[in-house]
Amino acid sequence: MAFTFINPDSLGAPRIIKHNLVAPKGKLLFIAGQIAWDQSQKIVSDDFVEQFDRALANVVTVLSAAGGQPEHIVRLVIYVTDKIEYRERTREVGERYRKHLGKHFPAMVLVQVAGLLDDAANVEIEGMAVLPA
Amino acid sequence: MAFTFINPDSLGAPRIIKHNLVAPKGKLLFIAGQIAWDQSQKIVSDDFVEQFDRALANVVTVLSAAGGQPEHIVRLVIYVTDKIEYRERTREVGERYRKHLGKHFPAMVLVQVAGLLDDAANVEIEGMAVLPA
Amino acid sequence: MAFTFINPDSLGAPRIIKHNLVAPKGKLLFIAGQIAWDQSQKIVSDDFVEQFDRALANVVTVLSAAGGQPEHIVRLVIYVTDKIEYRERTREVGERYRKHLGKHFPAMVLVQVAGLLDDAANVEIEGMAVLPA
């Protein structure tokens, strides 16, 4: 099951969140927005990087439960409440990213929203994956 | 046409907006962001719950026109301008939800945005569905 | 490859950003959020309309590189930082839209977010397309 990455030269070298891809036919997995909840649905930490880590871990938990692998993820939307925090800690965020998804970079969007439903959350990650049929 | 819900125990019991699912192959329906417009494209009410009701009704109107049923919806994104209002009226929102979609809970995201295009709108709902091929 | 537009009368005449559609089976193209970057990944202008033009051009660049045509786009999400600017310049935005996508109107969402990752960006556009299999 081969995904085709589409990163035209005219857009410059793809940064982490600027990849595009074509997915072959398959089953679509829709992952609800995940925040840094533990099993008791409490936010695990106030720290942005720790929350990013857990939210992404939760995305992978859903993916795995559906029989998918990180490389099946086609789209991630990252909603943050403080983009400065994200920017200042990009290196750490990148480490946590690779911990969960390796070097697979799907199409991403990152925007700063006015608020997340759980006041204690500072990041929420929604995902889609295309699983082998 | 069976959807498979993916709600791992390690994420705790799925709350309404925390379901995940795998869709079988089918035709994809893309529903533009719906606000509480009536046929003349006027917002029907200032009230959040009434707007939620109408916006979701409009989602279902599109779905039905495409030959779909509520259980074909795979993804909803709910953009609100005031999450406090949403939280304080969750019970009412849930009633209106079930009125239109019954007990079908697709993958959802709810975020508070800085603004919706129509100043009178306080909620906008985008949707995707997978229809039987 | 025929898309079916679903615009029920009861929702009033479809405005540009209020179209809905059903896509036939095909390969899914996921386009990351595009901003008005040039090849050196610098924002091309401070002007909203110029940024909209370039961001949409970048969407089309990805689409073309994947072998797609404007009419294969099924979904666009437009994140802006100033909806007033968008509204006041709707005519110009429409001209730039048609320049890149002609009269094809996929399902769209437009929301005002609290911030985009690049401080110089005032619009970001994410897309999905269904390409002929």
Interchain pair A109, C25: CB under 8 A: no
Q: Are B125 and B56 in contact (CB under 8 A)?
A: yes
Residue C75 near chain A (CB below 8 Å): no
CA distance C58 to B98: 40
Mark yes or no for CB contact A33/B108 under 8 Å. Answer: yes
pLDDT band at A1 (very low <50, low <70, confident <90, very high): low
Contacts for B115 with CB less than 8 Å, ≥ 6 apart: B81, C83, C111, C112
> pLDDT for C72-92, tens place per residue?
999 999 999 999 999 999 999
Residue found under tokens 């949707």: B127
Share of chain B above pLDDT 90, in %: 84
pLDDT, tens only, C25-66:
889 999 999 999 999 999 999 999 999 999 999 999 999 999
| Contacting residues of C for B121, CB less than 8 Å apart | none
Question: How many CA atoms, within 13 angstroms, populate the side-chain half-sphere of residue C59?
Answer: 32
Contacts of A29 in chain C (CB under 8 A): none
Whether A131 and A72 have beta carbons less than 8 Å apart is answered as yes
pLDDT at A16 exceeding the cut of 80:
no
Closest chain A residue by Cα to residue B127: A30
Asked if the C-beta of B93 comes within 8 angstroms of chain A's C-beta atoms, the answer is no
- Cα C5-C6-C7 angle, rounded to 5 deg: 110
Can you give the pTM of this predicted structure? Answer: 0.96
Give the DSSP per-residue string, B75-92: EEEEEES-HHHHHHTHHH
Spell out which residues of chain C touch residue B79, defining contact as CB-CB under 8 Å. 109, 111
Chain A contact set for C64 (CB, 8 A): 8
Q: Looking at the complex, report in whole angstroms how far the Cα of residue C39 sits from the nearest Cα belonging to chain B.
A: 30
Model pLDDT for residues B39-68, shown as the tens digit of each residue: 999 999 999 999 999 999 999 999 999 999
